[in-house]
Amino acid sequence: MKEKKIVNYKDYANTVTIEVGDQSFDISRLTMQIRELYGEYNIFSGEYAKSVYALNEESKKLAMGNNVEGLEVNYEKMTNLIEGYAKGKAERIQNILTILLDKNGYKFDEKFWEENADYQFMEWFIIQCMNKDVEEKAPKKKLEES
């Protein structure tokens, strides 16, 4: 009878340890779902940037024509755009972090994260986890010219 070999995914994954506040998180599992959600978040951010650019360009034209009413409308649009982006970013980052922590045996504690991080740090945390399997290469030495 053949013996079965069990391979544990965690045995082959690099682990990154990140300290937040008074807690330490050992992250070894990074699923395709997390990468896909982060990709969708980047697309969302890119669309936001395009919208801001287009609105700024339109506002420049309106300002050159002294169209005060148009500028007021654009100001309202920009305010709504910024608020929508801020809310969408927060939701997406929190969702990715929740899944990432869950896949590694942790529960997302909203109060803890509110007290110890902001959304920029949470995104940095996610990026550090995503980069954990990327090999760091030593910088190439420049050849000295004689």
Sign, Cα dihedral of 56, 62, 68, 69: negative
Question: What is the per-residue pLDDT across 10-47, written as a single tens digit (0 to 9) for each?
Answer: 555 688 999 999 999 999 989 999 999 999 999 999 99
Rounded to two decimals, what is the model's pTM? 0.79
How buried is 19 (Cβ within 10 angstroms: 0-12 exposed, 13-18 middle, 19+ buried)?
A: exposed
Q: Which residue type is seen at 97?
A: L
Res 70: pLDDT:
85
Question: What is the per-residue pLDDT across 69-107, written as a single tens digit (0 to 9) for each?
Answer: 888 888 999 999 999 999 999 999 999 999 999 999 999
Question: What is the signed CA dihedral for 22, 110, 128, 24, rounded to 10 degrees?
Answer: 20
Domain borders along the chain are: 15-26+45-124
pLDDT band at 146 (very low <50, low <70, confident <90, very high): very low
Residue in 82, 83, 97 with CA at minimum distance from that of residue 38: 97
Res 40: pLDDT:
97
Res 136: pLDDT:
63
